[in-house]
A and B are shown apart, each in its own frame.
Chain A
Amino acid sequence: MTEQDTVVVLAGGLSHERDISLRSGRRVAQALRDQGLDVVESDVNSGLVELLRSLDNPVAFPTLHGGVGEDGGLQQALALLRVPYVGSSPTACRRAFNKAICGPLVAAGGLPVPQSAVLPHDMFRELGARQLVEALAERIGFPMMVKPVRSGSALGAAKVEAPGGIPGAMVSAYSYGDVNIIEEFIAGIEVAVTVLDLGDGPKALPAVQIEPNSGVYDYTARYTAGATRFITPADIPAEQAQACAEMAIRAHQILGLGDISRSDIIIRDGQPVFIEANTAPGMTETSLAPLAVQAAGLDFGDICAQLVRIAKARL
């Protein structure tokens, strides 16, 4: 970084996770300012290109969750504009964000994932919902998870216990997008593993164990302080912790992710199962990646600043 460099922390956007993104952005911006960096905060809107062009040496730090911030759209635009940015390439974002693509890719790389089916809403209309619902009940079984393939923060996700719950859960999830994934429900210990690559290869930070008071790690449990118990490093046997770390690094590599990612994993009967990857992990006061950074004995602001330097060096 030079004195003229400006970090543009991008937050907001038009996705359903805008509110969380704004919180992540504010925290990252403050952490970078505390490191002495020159920081401006910006939404992703029609004024962004002009802003980036007005700065001598901008480096973007996207903290957008969902939508163009995670599906590669924003990263592609920044690449076109020749603005270095923190995070994964557009292609890697596309692979990781869409659950319909991410799961099979990671499974093909040898990692266990839940059994699943991906269905656009058109299929139900064209083939008849009743038959497909019956087939889902038979093939996936109960309980099952219904999720939009392109969404985060558990928005639109629902656990379904019986056939009668499928239609309502499907309709709610389709409110967030045209395609849903229906997964086998994995019962077990929920952990999140953040992977950092500071230029010397991806390394896993200590796993964060998640125990929501309500039993469900939904949007409220994620973002209400006090609603979830976080244990870091996770209170699991060392070999399980090691297996989770290896799984997160492997997923990071299979998907071609860069800089920072977070993998959500459930340990079932001692064996980790990969659930999903996040290319723009939450950075709020209740988010998992900052907890992992702290547990690793690292400084959050220093890590953010290092990621900016690495991004700058990639140009």
Chain B
Amino acid sequence: MVSEIERRQDTRLDQYVDFYAQRTQGLTVSAVRALFSVANRPEVVSLAGGMPNIKDLPLGKLGDEISQLICERGMQVFQYGSGQGEQFMRDHITEVMAEEGIHSHSDDVVVSCGSQQGLDLVTRVFCDPGDVVLCEAPSYVGALGTFLAYQVEVVHVEMDDYGISPTALRQAITSLRAAGKRVKFLYTIPNFQNPTGITQPVSRRQELLALAKEEDLLIVEDNPYGLLALDTEPQPALRALDADRVIYLGSFSKIFAPGLRVGWVLAPPAVREKLVMTQEAATLCPPVSAQFIVSHYMENFDWRSQIKVFHEMYRARRDAMLAGLEEHMPPGCSWTNPGGGFFVWLTLPPGLDSQAMLARAVSARVAYVPGTAFYADGFGSRNMRLSFCFPPPDRIIEGTRRLGEVLKAELAMRATFGIEDLPPRPGLVPGPAPDIL
């Protein structure tokens, strides 16, 4: 008979635990992220997720026509394609970019699996472990996850009401270079930034481009929300103002369908060549069927009018959120007033910790993303991102009411314990997740 000692198991429940790459160190289960599981229940008003609201798409007609497309051209639709993306798709992409003043040639476009993969390709092409990427403070959680996956050092640069601060940017570049660091590029979201909703005015864009030229700095412009300007015409893209110093990331996720995962990179020819080869190594080619569907949509549907329909829907939601915040937030809170996109950035009174109070919020049936998700350096605990894109306006207002109650309870608790302010501390491990993008 085998004794207990002989059959003793000593396990970490992962036989590969000693084999993983160093870059996976941060890929752990998180209690905060697990709370988002509750946010998917209908009882909860989720102001967390940044999912595009595609309820107004003509799904029936699209379904019929896609079916017909497969019947007629299935041999191509379901076949491998070009590593750079299909020519017809790249032609259509130049049309979309022209809406924001970008004059481009389809040869310089590389189609990617969403702009998220575009950013991954750009980072892979430019960054070695230890290199520095400059980002807005705060910045898009999915970008931070990509940078950390390549063991890049993220340095956040202060923002003001007009986006990233040129003064702070120059200081950061100077001090990093003085310290012997290699600054590879500035990653910026100039329109309705995720998570703050802030938009750079043209004058700020020009300042940034002038600074980039002086400092020989590459800019990676991520522009998923540019065509979702709710109050004005779209601003000219950074890439529209400078063709040489900007790599541009675009996406159909916000103006058509995120599930198709079609995005793109527009880059100078030398960079584009490397991106294509990197794309081929990563995926062989971006999904051909999705490119056929997107192209069919652009050729046979009035996609520009559809964006106007989206504007109406998102404007009602944005206005509901701003009205709800005005009515329900306790004194000491402040928030941004976005002219488009999906997000409002809420700043809490000193002493409140958005990550620590998320459990209370979930109990009160409202969810948000703690500000710590958008910093790689432990800041953001006094902030939260509120997303207005998905719930209907009345639910958004109800969500702000619930959130107001949570904040009042939390303020009372802090007052009881005499907590006036909190030091920065490590936050969420950044990374893309469908429920918080």
A-to-B contact residues, CB < 8 Å = 12, 14-20, 22, 43, 45, 121, 124-125, 129-130, 133, 153, 155-156, 167-168, 170-172, 174-177, 206, 213, 218-220, 222-233, 235, 285-286, 291, 294-295, 297
Contacts and interface: CB of A to CB of B under 8 A. Distances in A.
20 contacts: A16-B359, A18-B34, A18-B38, A129-B416, A155-B359, A167-B418, A168-B422, A170-B417, A171-B410, A172-B353, A175-B359, A219-B30, A219-B31, A225-B12, A225-B14, A226-B17, A226-B20, A227-B12, A229-B11, A229-B12
A220 B416 contact: no
Interface string B383-419: 0000000000000000000000000001011101111
Interface stretch (B2-10, B174-182, B257-265): B2-10
Contacts of B44: 14
Contacts of B38: 14-16, 18
Interface in B9-57: 9-14, 16-17, 20, 28-31, 34-35, 37-38, 41, 43-44
Nearest to B37: A19
Interface in B351-366: 353, 356-360, 362-363
Contacts of B11: 229-230, 232, 291
A211 to B, nearest CB: 9
Which of A45, A133, A172 has the most C-beta atoms of chain B within 10 angstroms of its own C-beta?
A172
A285 B13 contact: yes
A17 B34 CA distance: 8
A171 B14 CA distance: 35
A16 B16 CA distance: 30
B49 to A, nearest CB: 15
B359 A220 contact: no
Nearest to B28: A224
Interface residues of B, number: 41
A223 B363 CA distance: 22
B414 A228 contact: no
A170 B414 CA distance: 10
Nearest to A126: B416
Contacts of B414: 171
Given A18-B38, A226-B17, A229-B10, A175 B418 contact: no
A10 to B, nearest CB: 14
Contacts of A17: 34
A124 B410 CA distance: 14
A295 B9 contact: yes
B323 to A, nearest CB: 27
A230 B13 contact: yes
Contacts of B362: 16
Interface of B: 4-5, 7-14, 16-17, 20, 28-31, 34-35, 37-38, 41, 43-44, 353, 356-360, 362-363, 410, 412-414, 416-419, 422
A176 B359 contact: yes
A156 B353 CA distance: 14
Contacts of B29: 219-220, 222-224
B31 A155 contact: yes
A14 to B, nearest CB: 6
Contacts of A121: 413, 416
Contact of A227 (B9, B28, B357, B413): B28
Contacts of B35: 16, 19
Nearest to B44: A14
Nearest to A125: B416
Contacts of A226: 12-14, 16-17, 20
Contact of B37 (A22, A222, A286): A22
**Which one of B20, B43, B417 has the greatest number of beta carbons of chain A within 10 Å?**
B417
B418 to A, nearest CB: 6
A116 B10 CA distance: 33
Nearest to A130: B418
Nearest to B356: A172
B428 to A, nearest CB: 12
B30 A220 contact: yes
B1 to A, nearest CB: 11
A308 B109 CA distance: 59
A232 B9 contact: yes
Contacts of A222: 29
Please indicate which of the listed interface residues A206, A223, A226 has the most CB atoms of chain B within 10 Å of its own CB.
A226
Contacts of B16: 226
Contact of B31 (A14, A174, A220): A220
Contacts of A15: 38
B225 to A, nearest CB: 29
A45 B42 CA distance: 10
Contacts of B13: 225-226, 228, 230, 285-286
Interface centre among B12, B20, B35 (most CB of A within 10 A): B12
Contacts of A170: 417
Given A19-B37, A233-B4, A129 B418 contact: yes
Contact of B34 (A12, A20, A43, A175): A20
A53 B414 CA distance: 47
B25 to A, nearest CB: 11
A43 B162 CA distance: 46
Closest A-B pairs by Cβ, 6 of them: A226-B14, A167-B417, A19-B37, A226-B17, A219-B31, A225-B14
A18 B37 contact: yes
Contacts of B41: 12, 14, 18, 43, 45
The residue among B11, B17, B410 with the most chain A CB atoms within 10 A of its own CB is B11
A206 B4 CA distance: 9
A19 B34 contact: yes
Contacts of A167: 417-419
B360 A231 contact: no
Q: Which of A224, A285, A286 has the most CB of B within 10 A?
A: A224
A235 B43 CA distance: 46
Contacts of A155: 31, 359
